[in-house]
Amino acid sequence: MNAIKITGIVLIVLGLAGFFTGGFSFTQDKTAAKIGPIQLTVKEEKTVNFPQWLSIGAVVLGAVVLVMGSRKS
């Protein structure tokens, strides 16, 4: 399997994962105040959303790359 086929498969898998999950969230610790040895931290939850058009575009591009990679072999 060459690099072009692997790239096509990775694009398809990432596009499908982004389409079905819709995004991901993570928690970030942020220092709100620091007074001498006392430190106040706040946990902030952030969400990253994947647009559907981007996920569908990755699947289509992956399919095109996979087909073009198969034709050259």
How much is the pTM? Answer: 0.68
Q: What is the pLDDT of residues 12-51, one digit of tens each?
A: 999 999 899 988 899 999 888 888 888 899 999 999 998 9
Predicted pLDDT of residue 24: 87
Q: Where are the alpha helices (DSSP H) in 22-51?
A: none
Smallest Cα–Cα separation from 52: which of 27, 18, 25? 18
CB of 2 closer than 8 Å to CB of 66: no
Smallest Cα–Cα separation from 8: which of 58, 54, 53? 58
Secondary structure of residue 51 in the 3-state scheme: coil
Domain count, the chain: 1
Domain containing 28: what range? 3-72
